[in-house]
Amino acid sequence: MLKYLLASVALLVATPLAAQPAAAPELVTVIHAGTLIDKPGTAPRRNSSVIVRGRTIAEVRDGFVDVPGARVVDLRSATVLPGLIDSHVHLRGLDDRLRARLEENQRDNEDNAYTALSNARKTLLAGFTTVRDLGGDPRLILSLRDGINAGEIPGPTIIGAGRGISVSGGHGDARNGVNRELATLPSGGNTCNGADDCRRAVREQVGAGADVIKFAATGGVLSNVPGGLNQQMMDDEMRAIVQTAKMFDRKVAAHAHGVNGVNAALRAGVDSIEHGTFTNEESFRLYKQTGAYYVPTLLAPAAALADGVRGALTPAQFEKAKAAAGNAEKSFAEAIKRGVKIAFGTDTGVSPHGRNAEEFALMVKNGMSPALAIRSATVDAAELLGLSARIGTIEPGKDADFIAVDGDPTQNVRLLERVGFVMKSGRVHKLGGARQLTSAD
C-alpha cells in the first residue's frame, strides 16, 4: 500500500520535473452512462456523465455532457458500475489442478510468474480491477503488484499477503506429503511454531513487502495432509500474529474452516475470516462483536469437489473437499440471515482465473440479493481492504476504475459474468466486449 502511494506520488512529481518543456496534457475521458450504479447498495442514477482526468474521477454530472477535447465513451445503453474487487485470489501458478500436479517438479518460479501475468490480465478483463492475493511467492506477487501500479503490465490493483503463515504440518507447509528428498528442502511455506516464532513470521512478510498478513487457523482442503479442517494453530500463536501485524499497521486475514478455528481467529481479533465453512451461534456473536468480515469463497469448495471427482486430488485432499463442499453454502445462508458483514472473495486459483464473477450466482442462490452481492464486491470489499478512500464507489477524487454490462445486474447478477467494458486507472482495457491493446500491453 505504502509502496503504491509512493509510486503514485513519484509519477505525479516526475511529470513537471521531466526534461520536456511542456508535459503532455492529461487525457480527459467522458463516460456517458445510461444507468450508473455509482454507490452500490443505493438507487442508481439515470443518464449521467462521469468525467475522468488522468487516472482519477474528476466529476459525476446529470445528463450526457460534452467536454471540449475529451474522448467520449458511449455507454448510454449500458449499466456502469465501479470496478469489482475480489478479496481472495491466488494469482501465482496454474489453476488446472491436474496439470499443476503433473508439472509441479518441472516448473520454476519464472514459469509461475508468467502464468501469474496471464492470470492478472484475465482477472482485469473479467471486470476485477482490484484483488487481494492471499498467499504465493512474495517476490513474484509483489513485483507483479508494483509493475501493474507503474502501468507496465495490465492487471488489477493488488493487495498482497506475500506468503501465508501456517504451523508445521498445517495448511501452508509445502513439505506436507512430499517424498523424502523433497522433504529435506527448505520449506516453501512460512511456517511458525510458538508465539515468538509466529511474531517472526509476520515481521518477515512485512519486511518482504506484504500489504496484509494471512495465516491458516485451521487445516485446508488442498494441503496434502490428512489432518482434517479443524483448528491447528494455537490461540496464543494467533494472538501473537494479530498483535504483531497491528504494530506494523497491517490487517490480518485468517483462513478458517472448522468452527473452533473460526471462533478462535475471531477472538484473536482478525479483520476477516476466509472460507468460514463451519459456524455456530458463537461465531455469529463474534462476527457481530468484532466487526470482522466473512469472505465466503463459495466457488472454491465447488471447484475442489469437482477436481476430486475427476481424479485431480490426492485422497487426503478429496476427503477434505467433500467435507467443505457439504457445509460452505449452509454457513453462508445462515450468515446472510444474521446480517454478518460479507466481503466478496472467491479463492480463484482453486477455480479458474477470469471466472471470479461466477461467485455472484452462488451468493444469490443462497439468499443474498443481487444488489447486496454487488455491494459486497465494491463498497464492502473496499472497506475490508482499507481502500474506501480510493475505490468501491464512483465519486470525484477516486480511482477511475469502472466496468459496464448490458442490462440490469441488480435483476440478473449473472450479467456480471459478461463484462463489456473495463477501465482501470483511466485506461480503457475492454470496450464492446473486446480487449483494447495499449502501449503498455
The contacts of residue 202 (CB under 8 Å, 6+ apart) are: 165, 213, 240, 241, 244, 245, 248, 250
Least distance from Zn ion to the Cβ atom of residue 346, Å: 9
Q: Is residue 95 near Zn ion by the rule CB under 5 A?
A: no
Q: Select from 223, 315, 219 the least CA-distant residue to 275.
A: 219
Q: Select from 394, 276, 429 the least CA-distant residue to 39.
A: 394
Size of the site for Zn ion (CB under 5 A): 1
Q: Using CB positions, name the residue nearest to Zn ion.
A: 347
Q: Select from 10, 7, 53, 6 the least CA-distant residue to 31.
A: 53
* Grid cell in block for residue 93: 501458478
Least distance from Zn ion to the Cβ atom of residue 220, Å: 8
Cα pseudo-dihedral 36, 38, 44, 46, rounded to 10: -40
x-or-dash string of contact with Zn ion, 343-382, rule CB under 5 A: ----x-----------------------------------
Least distance from Zn ion to the Cβ atom of residue 422, Å: 24
* Grid cell in block for residue 319: 476427503
Least distance from Zn ion to the Cβ atom of residue 123, Å: 15
> Of residues 290-349, which lie at the interface with Zn ion (CB under 5 A)?
347
Residue nearer to Zn ion on the CB measure, 346 or 410: 346
Contact 357, 84 (CB under 8 A): yes
Residue nearer to Zn ion on the CB measure, 86 or 347: 347
Residues 333 and 316: their CA atoms lie apart, in Å, by 28
Least distance from Zn ion to the Cβ atom of residue 95, Å: 12
Least distance from Zn ion to the Cβ atom of residue 389, Å: 26
Percent helix, strand and coil across the chain, each to the nearest 5 = 35, 20, 40
Least distance from Zn ion to the Cβ atom of residue 174, Å: 14
Residue nearer to Zn ion on the CB measure, 90 or 424: 90
Residues 166 and 158: their CA atoms lie apart, in Å, by 22
Residue nearer to Zn ion on the CB measure, 38 or 347: 347
Residue nearer to Zn ion on the CB measure, 166 or 260: 166
| Amino acid letter for position 313 | L
Contacts with Zn ion by CB under 5 A lie at: 347
